[in-house]
Structure 1
Amino acid sequence: MSARDNILRRLRQREDGPLQAPKSDFGVMTGRGWSQEERLARFERLITSVHGEVQHVSRENWTQSLIELLKTKSIRRLALGKTHPIAQEARQALATADITLVDVDRPIEDWQREQFENVDAGLTSTGGAIAETGSLWLWPTEDEPRLLSLVPPVHIAVLEANRIEDTFYELMVNLGWSKNMPTNALLISGPSKTADIEQTLAYGVHGPKELIVLVKN
């Protein structure tokens, strides 16, 4: 019997009975009671306070706003997925535009140099957002790998306005993460930032210099 098995056996055979989960009060993490308009306003205020950019776009014509954004930012090479509806709509809208669409469903070893040196921006969907902290949450997949939002100098994220939760706790409860927790969820609160020992904050050192959130209303 291994040491691990011995430890587990001793835990199961406790003299005072099996272990019980302690009672927990999560009230401090919930109960904000914000309306949808208040959640959106708070999210926007917090994420722009750390150099994130928010653009409100039409649900029906958001891709036109994307095209205009790419022109304004002089983005010529855009990395994006293929199967997600956001990626499919973007690809259709950009089919005739003077933009090179970079496929990301490849082993990173095959295009690592291209990704780090030649991609201007990455476009991703989002699972939603958290009003309390001004954070986006992403659930990376093979179609939209995590490096798509962490490497290109500009990250463009598309957010549904009605998918903003009050708190992270309520996000986990409402989505049933206790039963189906994502293995690689990302929380993004603005562009990449870091600080040195003198507490001087710098942006874009280890990742995107810009985060642009297209909020579909």
Structure 2
Amino acid sequence: MSARDTILKRLRERTDGPLSAPESDFAVVTNRGWSAEERLSRFERLITSVHGEVIHAPREAWTDTLAKALADKGVRRLALGKEHPVAAEAREALADVGIELVDVDRDIEHWQREQFENVDAGLTSTQGGVAETGSLWLWPTPDEPRLISLVPPIHIAVLDADALEDTFFDVVESHGWADGMPTNALLISGPSKTADIEQTLAYGVHGPRELLVLVRHAGDAPGDKT
């Protein structure tokens, strides 16, 4: 009998009965009770505190805001998917504005150099955000592979305001990760940063130097009302 089998045998034959899992109290990581306005305010304050940038747009005209942001940042080549509604709407809106739309549904070995050297920005959807930490969460797919959020100098992430949740625990619980955890979920809390260089915080060393979060609102975006 192996050492492992011996240990398991002793656990099964405990004189005081089988072990049971202790009760867990998750109150400390949930039940914040924030309103939608409070969630958005906290999210924006925290993600901008680490050099993230947030812009707001009404859901019906978000691509106009996107086009302006791309022009302001001098983006000429944009990597994005095809099938996700965010990518499809962006492709339609940007078809005639002089920006080259780079397909990403290719084997990375065939366009690795192009992606690392010639793409100005990557556009992705998001599954939602976490107000408590100012984080986005993404679930990459073959249509939107993780590299388009990790490699280009600028990452543009489209977030629906009503997809913000209070805590990461709320995300895990409400989306049923216990029954089907994503194999490749990404949590993003600002542009790439490191303090390995002389203990000085530097941005953009291992990934995007800029993170732009475009927040879509069902009605008027904040500041749009007169």
TM range, smaller chain = over 0.9
Query: How far apart are 1:18 and its partner, in Å?
Result: 3.9
Aligned residue in 1 for 2:188: 188
2:12 corresponds to which letter in structure 1? Q
Equivalent runs, 1:28-47 vs 2, <5 Å: 28-47=28-47
Q: 1:22 to 1:60 in 2, by over 3 A?
A: same
Aligned residue in 1 for 2:222: none
Deviations 1:91-117 (A, max 9, x none): 111111201111111111111101100
Match of 1:157, SS state, is: strand
Aligned residue in 1 for 2:52: 52
Which 5+ residue runs of structure 1 have no aligned equivalent?
A: none
Identity of aligned residues (%): 70
Equivalent runs, 1:189-208 vs 2, <5 Å: 189-196=189-196, 198-208=198-208
Quote the Cα distance in structure 2 between the aligned partners of 1:197 and 1:178: 38
Aligned residue in 2 for 1:83: 83
Q: 1:18 to 1:106 in 2, by over 3 A?
A: farther
Which 5+ residue runs of structure 2 have no aligned equivalent?
A: 218-226
Aligned residue in 2 for 1:10: 9
1:154 corresponds to which letter in structure 2? I
Query: How far apart are 1:196 and its partner, in Å?
Result: 2.7
Farther-moved stretch of structure 1 (182-191 vs 192-201)? 192-201
Quote the Cα distance in structure 1 between the aligned partners of 2:52 and 2:189: 8
Task: Give the TM-score of the pair, scaled to structure 2.
Answer: 0.90
2:126 corresponds to which letter in structure 1? T
Quote the Cα distance in structure 2 between the aligned partners of 1:126 and 1:7: 48
Query: How far apart are 1:23 and its partner, in Å?
Result: 1.2
Match of 2:71, SS state, is: helix
Quote the Cα distance in structure 2 between the aligned partners of 1:162 and 1:142: 25
Equivalent runs, 1:1-217 vs 2, <5 Å: 6=5, 10=9, 13-15=12-14, 16-196=16-196, 198-217=198-217
Match of 2:179, SS state, is: coil
Query: How far apart are 1:14 and its partner, in Å?
Result: 3.5
Query: How far apart are 1:66 and its partner, in Å?
Result: 0.8
Quote the Cα distance in structure 2 between the aligned partners of 1:103 and 1:169: 34
Match of 1:214, SS state, is: strand
Quote the Cα distance in structure 2 between the aligned partners of 1:24 and 1:201: 37
Quote the Cα distance in structure 2 between the aligned partners of 1:157 and 1:35: 23
Quote the Cα distance in structure 1 between the aligned partners of 2:38 and 2:80: 31
Q: 1:18 to 1:114 in 2, by over 3 A?
A: farther
Query: How far apart are 1:12 and its partner, in Å?
Result: 7.4
1:59 corresponds to which letter in structure 2? R
Match of 2:173, SS state, is: helix
2:85 corresponds to which letter in structure 1? P
Farther-moved stretch of structure 1 (53-62 vs 6-15)? 6-15
Query: How far apart are 1:200 and its partner, in Å?
Result: 1.4
Quote the Cα distance in structure 1 between the aligned partners of 2:36 and 2:77: 35
Task: Give the TM-score of the pair, scaled to structure 1.
Answer: 0.94
Quote the Cα distance in structure 2 between the aligned partners of 1:76 and 1:201: 29
Q: 1:212 to 1:19 in 2, by over 3 A?
A: same
Q: 1:27 to 1:82 in 2, by over 3 A?
A: same
Aligned residue in 1 for 2:223: none
Corresponding pairs, count = 216
**RMSD of equivalent CA atoms:** 1.8
Match of 1:61, SS state, is: helix
